Structure 1
Amino acid sequence: MNEEQSGSEDQPIVVDQTDKRSVVPFVAAAVIAVIVLIGIVLGGLLSPAEKNVTEADRLTAAVSNYIDARSRSELRPPPGVACPGFDEEKSGLSERLGGPKSAVTIDKKGFDKATVNGDRAKIDATVQIGDKSSTSTWNLTRVDGAWLVCTP
Structure 2
Amino acid sequence: MTEQRPDPEDDEAIVLDQTDQRTMAPFIAAAVFAAVVLVAIVAGGLLSPAEKNVTEADRIAGAAQNYVSARNASDQSPPPGVACEGFEEGKSPLAGQFAGGSSIEIPKVADQSVNGDRAKAAVTVRVDGRETTETWNFTRSGDKWIVCG
Whether TM-score is above 0.5 comes out as yes
The alpha carbon displacement at 1:22 in A equals: 1.8
The alignment of Structure 1 onto Structure 2 pairs a total of residues equal to 133
The alpha carbon displacement at 1:139 in A equals: 0.5
Q: How many angstroms apart in 2 are the aligned matches of 1:55 and 1:65? A: 15
- Calculate the aligned-residue CA RMSD, in Å: 2.0
The alpha carbon displacement at 1:19 in A equals: 6.8
The alpha carbon displacement at 1:92 in A equals: 3.9
Aligned-residue sequence identity (percent) comes to 53
Partner deviation per Cα, 1:28-74 (whole Å, 9 max, x = no partner): 11121122022113312331211101001100110000000010111
Q: How many angstroms apart in 2 are the aligned matches of 1:115 and 1:128? A: 22
2:58 is aligned to: 57
Q: 1:76 touches 1:100 (CA, 8 Å); kept in 2?
A: no
1:133 to 124, 131, 134: 131
Q: How many angstroms apart in 2 are the aligned matches of 1:117 and 1:99? A: 33
Q: How many angstroms apart in 2 are the aligned matches of 1:101 and 1:120? A: 31
Partner deviation per Cα, 1:107-147 (whole Å, 9 max, x = no partner): 1xx12111110000011111111111111111000122221
1:42 is aligned to: 43
Q: How many angstroms apart in 2 are the aligned matches of 1:91 and 1:114? A: 18
- Which amino acid in 2 is paired with 1:102? S
Q: 1:94 touches 1:100 (CA, 8 Å); kept in 2?
A: no
Q: Within 5 Å, which residues of 2 pair with 1:1-152?
A: 18=19, 20-95=21-96, 97=97, 99=99, 101-107=101-107, 110-151=108-149
- Max Rg structure: 2
Segments of 5+ residues of structure 2 without an aligned counterpart are 1-17
Segments of 5+ residues of structure 1 without an aligned counterpart are 1-16
Q: 2:102 touches 2:128 (CA, 8 Å); kept in 1?
A: no
Q: 2:109 touches 2:121 (CA, 8 Å); kept in 1?
A: yes
Structure showing the higher helix proportion among its residues: 1
Q: 2:93 touches 2:135 (CA, 8 Å); kept in 1?
A: no
